[in-house]
Each structure stands twice: as structure tokens, then as C-alpha cells.
Amino acid sequence: MRVTDLSLLDFRNYRGAEVSFAPGLNLVIGRNGQGKTNLVEAIAYFASLDSHRVSGDAALIRAGCETAVVRMRIAARDREVLLEVQLNRGRPNRAQVNRNGVKPRELMRWFSTVVFAPEDLSIVRGDPSRRRSFLDEAVVARNPAFAGVLSDFERVLRQRTSLLKSARGSGSRTALDATLGVWDDQLVEHGTRIMVARRRLVRELAAPLRESYSALVREDHGPLASVTESVYEVLGQGSVSRETSTGAVAGPGSDVSRETLAADYRAALEAVRGREFERAVTLVGPHRDDLSLELNGLPVKGYASHGESWSFALALRLALARLLREESPAGDPVLILDDVFAELDARRRSRLMDAVAGFEQVIVTAAVEDDVPADFGWRRIRIKGGAVVGADADPDSAAGGSLDGAADGVVGGALGGVTGSGATRAGVAEGSEGVDIEAEVEP
């Protein structure tokens, strides 16, 4: 899979811009604050409906504007698909796939990317919430439909916590017990699915994590990731690393059924019911879990050096990219390395490039061109002041083309044509199989 063309209208600091990308290695160059990260942020948005830099869409719309439009043409399995999203202040966003209106969430089925960014260091050094986000982003990357499960869990969690606060305010635990069971049922249903998906992800990241870390440092430091679940901490069983650890050998007890997890979840909720009433907080569930990361048997956080921490964070991203590559029928995910090379020494820069160069398309941003290893065949795109001011010749320019009419795209439906696509909202049209990147992973 690869991006062929991108068009921006009133996105971040771009009043309007169009740029084409080549297969293989693309280097986006620009001084800090000129808009190079904004460019790749727009690309990545189609895979997650989220920014890797900020929460919420308001910051993505250019100051003084009410709407931003991003249009992107992708190529996968020798077919092309045109994706478009309109970001709106104060009203729902709108989306299209090949000029057919779809729910914005449908965009995630068509495009896959893995973003490496300076913020990734917080995965290994930051709070548990950042590691939970990594797990959930990875699960959704494997199966975009799982975003609905996460959304449902968050909705139930908010409503259940609101009930706890109301009960504490009234001082009536009897009323709480009478109604909390309904929310417990939904919390357990959605939460158990999240726990199962996270366990499976961590287990299947095992081999690619070891391989990726070794490729970056050329040493066997025994990188290990395991899920620590609040359910089993409450029940006195501590970490479930024996069952879900990326470094463990699956044994007879390693595959715990969803029914067993659900029963344990309910037991944990019962065990903390009194404390939940006193604190008005939901104390057990995926929202309280963590991803434990170790090198040579020691926690990365607090023990690993700066370089080791960076290598572990990069290895996690690279491991996910390799896993998606194996699973996706639409080809490799697009790799985005956003200003990462400035954080690495020359040796790690070279090894990272060696590790990613074989992917179908890699897009790198850099403020200083010398930070990026030169002995690769780069296509350079230069950014200044929210505009594309120069680019090397595109070897596939005949296959791409201008994405004209961006301003009218979602609003008026006048999108530019897509050569040889024929894909529709369902991803299948007469004479075409369409392209759907959703992995065959049970939510």
C-alpha cells in the first residue's frame, strides 16, 4: 500500500497544497514550524481518525476557518482509491470513499500506517495511559472495526462512573446496588473483548519485537512485553505475564477463554464494590491496566538508558509494522518517521533505515537533511511556510495526477476522478474487487 497524492485545504498551516509521493523512500524537508509534520499528520489521520500530536480535531483546522478538507489517493493491489475527510468545527465530520459518502470510521478500513514520532519515548517512560493507548491503537490497526468496541467501553465506563458519583452524593448504597448490575454486565462484555484482543496482540508481537530490537542494537537484550491486568491484581494473582508475555512459551494455561476472563472480571468488581462506592471511581478494567516492558529482566522505565529506551520504543513500532505486513491483504502499511532521526545517533539512524527500507513506502520528515542517512534513494519534498516549494521528479507521476476540486469535495460531491478504481462504499463495485485492508482478526 502507498500514498500517491495528497491534497490539503485549510488544514493546520496549509491554506491549500497538493503533493505527490513516490514508492519507496520519501523525504519531507523543512525547518521547524514550516509544516512538514502537519503534512504527515494529515496522512496518518485516515488510519486512526486521530492525531498523534493532539487530542481533538479543532487544532487541525486552520485558524479562522470552520472547515478543513483532506483528500488522499492510495494505491493498493494495483488499484487506486480516493479518500476524503472534511473536518468541521462544532458539527460532525464528513467523509467519502471514491465520491460515495461514508461514516468517517469507514476510512480506517482502507488505509494502514505506522507512525514513528518523538512522542513514542513516552510509551516506555511515560504513564500507563500512554502504553494503553499504544495497545489500543495497535489493536485497531489490525482490525479497524474494534474502534467501536473501545468506544462502547468508554461510553459504559463514563455512565457507570457517573452512577457511582450520584450514589455517593446521595449516600444510598442500596439504590446503587439495584442499578449497578446493568452497567456491570455491559462493562464486562466490552472490557473482556478488549482484554482478549490486547493479550493476543502482545503474544503475537513476541517474535517481531525481539527481531526488531536486535536489528536496531545488534544485541540480544531480551526485550519483553507483558500485560498487567487490574482484574488479576485485585484477585491477588498479580501480573498475567506468564500467560501473555511476549517472551513466554505458551503452555496449557496460556489460552484463557473469554468466559473465564468475564467470570474473573465480575469477581474483581464484586471485590472492590465498597471502595468504588467510597471513591466514586470504577477501579477495575482495561482502563486501569498497563503494558510492562523489560530488558534483561529489568523494567525499561527507570533502568534502561536513553538509547535503550529509544530502541525499545522504535522496536515496538517496527514490530507492529511487521505484524501488519504479514496480516494485511492490501500490502505493507505506510511507514511514517516523523522527525525521529534528530533523536538518534548516527549508528541507530543507519540501523533504523536498514530495518524500514524494504517496506513499500516510507515517508520521513526532517528539519536537517544531514540527520537522515544519505546512502538511500530518496525522493525529496521541500516545505516552507505551509507550502510545497520543491520536489524531485516523481517516477510514477503518470499514474498519479492532481486532486483538483478539494474545496468542493465533500460539500458538493465533485471529487476528482480515480483511475481504475471502481470501488464503492462497500469496497466492491461492478468489475472490481475493491480494496479493504481490514485484517481477519476477531474483535
Q: How does pLDDT run along the chain (443 residues), one tens digit per residue?
A: 999 999 999 999 999 999 999 999 999 999 999 999 999 999 999 999 988 888 889 999 999 999 999 999 999 888 999 999 999 998 999 999 999 999 999 999 999 999 999 999 999 999 999 999 999 999 999 999 999 999 999 999 999 999 998 887 776 666 677 788 889 999 999 999 999 999 999 999 999 999 999 999 988 888 999 999 999 999 986 444 433 443 332 222 346 789 999 999 999 999 999 899 899 999 999 999 999 999 999 999 989 999 999 999 999 999 999 999 999 888 899 999 999 999 899 999 999 999 999 999 999 999 999 999 988 889 999 999 999 998 876 545 444 456 755 444 444 433 343 333 333 323 323 333 344 444 333 44
Give the pLDDT of residue 255: 66
Instruction: State the Cα torsion 349-353-355-360 to the nearest 10°.
Output: 150
Record the cell numbers describing residue 363, joined without a space.
515517508
> For the purposes of burial, counting CB atoms within 10 Å of the CB of 339, is it exposed (0-12), middle (13-18) or buried (19 or more)?
buried
Of the candidates 436, 287, 418, which has an alpha carbon nearest to the alpha carbon of residue 4? 418
Q: What are phi and psi of 435, to 5 degrees?
A: -135, 120
Give the pLDDT of residue 195: 96
Instruction: Report the distance separating Cα 78 and Cα 397, nearest Å.
Output: 15
The three-point CA angle 213-214-216 to 5° equals 65
Decide if 30 contacts 382 (C-beta within 8 A).
yes
118: CB partners within 8 A, 6+ apart: 338, 339, 340, 342, 343
What one-letter code names the amino acid at 418?
V
Domains and CATH numbers, the chain: 2-112+328-412 (3.40.50.300), 125-303 (1.20.1050.90)
Q: What are phi and psi of 72, to 5 degrees?
A: -145, 135
Instruction: Report the distance separating Cα 222 and Cα 292, nearest Å.
Output: 14
301: left (phi over 0), alpha (psi -120 to 50) or beta: beta
